[in-house]
Structure 1
């Protein structure tokens, strides 16, 4: 999310004048937000995160972005069955990305909307899109901080060539992956969309 803020010069980018912040920089910003009373319950729940290996979850991300005056909204999806949580998440993400500008009739719809911060138990990822197959099945398209882009993907992107279906596999999170969890949280930046 911070790479989007910096790269797109999104509101709040001024907090990162040099480059992308390190984990320690983020921890300091979150602790400073708590000092200002922004979502300070997070400090009580975590015992503090400065100079620790504790993961940064949704409440910490909210504190960070609110302290930078970046308006954001959070949604939680928690049902007794994983299918209901999954379906609600997929519907919400599809609705979000369908609001962005795109050219009708195109097979691939690119938007300028910010990515979505996505948390499930024990891990956070960045949703950069959604894929809907001809059968109606949906896959989240994500950046996972655990994985690095392969050299093949980097070569294709640098040449702006059409991507082979197999190259997208590491970026997809479909129904089998989502079925492992009963609860999800997402954080979206609040953006104003202008229509003509």
Structure 2
């Protein structure tokens, strides 16, 4: 039998509830004693009582706040694989490649660059309206697990080799906070997000992935005037005077130059003049997937680059590629982003790609939404997240605990 704590609403086996409630009113409790006391109660409880779940096993931290009695091994053993609709015939990226190839007209100078394998995770009735950030994390991780990098598979989610569901991802994010990743961000949530329907952004994704040693990088696209609005605090988290994308993005530390014509990371824009935000973003994405190759022939190419977590005000999606067409006698480039949206149904995307009809409405996005007046508010500032190769250890891993960002202005 179990009972509900009237103070914190945690459910515990009946033999433990009295001690737990009394703990709320004690002046000082040593956290180690609290842990030992909990374990003793657990062993002394009736064998007929079911063992407490992760949610039901609290301990008292030094600040006397109830937090989960949670360790890495607990999450590894208790995490659940996320259900999703698996697309056959090589997956969505393979189907998209076929459609792009069949759509290319003779003598047309069109080039498409695609990420590798990505599973689409659609929002459900349970997470509609708040779960897009988690769904994009799942898409990012599906790509990471599809690669041949055995070291990444070993460290990601404890070597489970599957993409966890949203509650399990929430546990992993709490562990990241408790391990010192994005300290200020974790404090904003009181280091608790399990079971919460709270909107997250790129910094939460970065903290979660970095906690495994993955080199998750954040890039900010914002107007030149916004640069003076960032409050820089070297070596610590910040609270910039700007509109935040999500709860934690206000704590991003901005570093690097304008990003236009500079290589603060490996994907700086190639033009030093101030151009439209749509052109800046498209060129950056093109250079990201191009990956420093001097030339690429027309056609459709699967690259070695992973997908991009693409976030703007109020929504996030996953960029899986980009298409460039050279128009007119001046060969002016026209770009289309190739995007997977958690708000779409996977079966609908698959059917459109298999039928080669209607798929562009799902997947292709041009630059005009980034420049039209009605989209100005939503797209004034945009963030991207990508994952570099390799696993960070030692001092580099410690540095990754502070979520920083490369600034690209338009």
TM-score normalized by structure 1? 0.81
Shift of 1:186: 0.7
Asked if structure 1 preserves the Cα contact closer than 8 Å seen for 2:145 and 2:161, the reply is: no
Shift of 1:96: 0.6
Distance in 2 (alpha carbons) for counterparts of 1:190 and 1:18: 19
Shift of 1:138: 1.1
SS in 1 for 2:299: coil
Distance in 2 (alpha carbons) for counterparts of 1:60 and 1:9: 26
Distance in 1 (alpha carbons) for counterparts of 2:322 and 2:342: 18
* Correspondence for 1:188: 386
Shift of 1:152: 2.1
- Residue in structure 2 matching 1:8, options 131, 147, 159: 147
* Correspondence for 2:173: 30
Asked if structure 2 preserves the Cα contact closer than 8 Å seen for 1:78 and 1:182, the reply is: yes
Over 3 Å counting, the alpha-carbon distance change for 1:66 and 1:182 in structure 2 is: same
Over 3 Å counting, the alpha-carbon distance change for 1:18 and 1:73 in structure 2 is: closer
Shift of 1:21: 1.0
- Residue in structure 2 matching 1:128, options 309, 320, 326: 320
Over 3 Å counting, the alpha-carbon distance change for 1:106 and 1:84 in structure 2 is: closer
SS in 2 for 1:134: strand
- Listed one character per residue, the Cα deviations across residues 105-164 of structure 1 (whole Å, up to 9, x for unaligned) are 2322221211111111111111111111233221111111111232423536xxxxxx56
* Correspondence for 1:160: none
Distance in 2 (alpha carbons) for counterparts of 1:87 and 1:41: 34
What stretches of structure 1 of length at least 5 have no aligned partner?
157-162
Asked if structure 1 preserves the Cα contact closer than 8 Å seen for 2:279 and 2:367, the reply is: no
SS in 1 for 2:199: coil
Over 3 Å counting, the alpha-carbon distance change for 1:46 and 1:139 in structure 2 is: farther
Asked if structure 1 preserves the Cα contact closer than 8 Å seen for 2:282 and 2:367, the reply is: no
- Listed one character per residue, the Cα deviations across residues 37-57 of structure 1 (whole Å, up to 9, x for unaligned) are 101221233454221111221
Asked if structure 1 preserves the Cα contact closer than 8 Å seen for 2:201 and 2:311, the reply is: yes
Shift of 1:75: 0.8
Matched, 1:115 2:307: yes
* Correspondence for 1:45: 188
Over 3 Å counting, the alpha-carbon distance change for 1:121 and 1:107 in structure 2 is: same
Structure ranking higher on relative contact order (CA contacts 8 Å, 6+ apart): 1
SS in 1 for 2:342: coil
SS in 1 for 2:389: coil
Shift of 1:188: 1.2
SS in 2 for 1:125: strand
Distance in 2 (alpha carbons) for counterparts of 1:40 and 1:122: 24
State how many pairs are aligned.
184
What stretches of structure 2 of length at least 5 have no aligned partner?
1-139, 227-274, 328-332, 391-410
Distance in 2 (alpha carbons) for counterparts of 1:72 and 1:107: 29
TM-score normalized by structure 2? 0.41
SS in 2 for 1:56: coil
Matched, 1:65 2:209: yes
Asked if structure 2 preserves the Cα contact closer than 8 Å seen for 1:33 and 1:40, the reply is: no
